[in-house]
Amino acid sequence: MVKKTIIHTIMAMATFMPWEQMAAQEATTQPLMPGEAPKPTKYIAIEEEKEKIVFFQGFTLSVDAYGPAAYCLSDYGTAEAALRLNLKNTFFPIVEAGYGMCEKEDYNTKISYKVKAPYARLGVDVNMLKDKFQDNRLYLGARYGISKFKYDIAGPAMSDPIWGGSESFSHKGIDCTSQWLELVAGIEVKIYKNFHMGWAVRYKSELSSTKNQLAKPSCIPGYGYTTNSTCWGGTYSLIFDLNWGKKKSHKKGISMEIRDLQESPQEDENTDSEPKEVVIEK
């Protein structure tokens, strides 16, 4: 009697149990072959809309801390500031202006050279990082530089090996205009809110300088020493992003689509129901 009661109870439960649930239970209880992984019954496809970044991101103002320090420790230094546009956090057109100073005397020849004059550069930097939404930057850039200046040169009496005799010389206010190109590579790191710090390495190549029969300029403001046709330079910048009121990005949402893998292709074609979709606004 007890056995018959148990059998009738099981049959009643099977009658009211959904066939889909029974099939799912049967699929999960089927033994797996050696090396066979269990197959999922459902999947979730998540499609995130692309983030968009506003074209104009504001201004950037920076000052160079390396130039004044170099002047305290050597014969040449600069005082420099820069104003830069931020376009999509990718392209940075920039204007740099400064004042270069050099006052030196050759240890062997005792020839002295002195120059103090402004200079300017114009160029663009490109942020090379893939993620444009972060505040740190790795960039490559180029500059065109120009300086119009006057320099003084003087030297002690030196004997002429051909004509004999000796005479000192001193020339002041020699006019010169110099132009050059620069290739720039640098990094910037966010320190606090809109304040960044960064350094850059510059490879410089002189394009032209006004020729003078008296003497060639030994140092060009903004460029550096003219011992060779190329030289290296660097900057260590304190950077302030003037980006009040700007929008960095906006995101429409995330759509999630849920489908059942157990559905057959024929059922997909005949059914009129749309796949479930959930949109999360941010």
Q: Which position has the higher pLDDT, 78 or 42?
A: 78
Q: Which of 40-54, 112-126, 249-263, 266-280 has the highest mean pLDDT?
A: 112-126
Q: Is 221 helix (H, G, I), strand (E, B) or coil?
A: coil
Q: Which domains does the chain have, with CATH numbers?
A: 2-27+42-49+251-280 (no CATH), 53-242 (2.40.160.20)
Tell me what the mean pLDDT of segment 54-60 comes to: 88
Q: Which position has the higher pLDDT, 242 or 43?
A: 242
**Position 115 pLDDT exceeds 90:** yes
pLDDT at 8: 57
Tell me what the mean pLDDT of segment 261-269 comes to: 48
pLDDT at 268: 47
pLDDT at 52: 77
**Position 114 pLDDT exceeds 70:** yes
Q: How confident is the model at residue 134 (pLDDT cuts 50, 70, 90)?
A: confident
Q: Residue 268 region, left (φ>0) first, then alpha (ψ -120 to 50), else beta?
A: alpha
By CB neighbour count within 10 A (0-12 exposed, 13-18 middle, 19+ buried), where does 277 fall?
exposed
**Long-range CB contact pairs, 111-114, < 8 A, 24+:** 111/153, 111/154, 111/155, 111/156, 112/152, 112/153, 112/154, 112/155, 113/151, 113/152, 113/153, 113/217, 113/218, 113/219, 114/151, 114/152, 114/153
Short-list 220, 7, 231, 252, CA closest to 116: 220
Tell me what the mean pLDDT of segment 210-224 comes to: 90
Short-list 144, 151, 150, 123, CA closest to 208: 144
Contact 57, 99 (CB under 8 A): no
pTM: 0.68
Enter the tokens of residue 254: 């995330």
Tell me what the mean pLDDT of segment 131-135 comes to: 86
**Position 282 pLDDT exceeds 70:** no
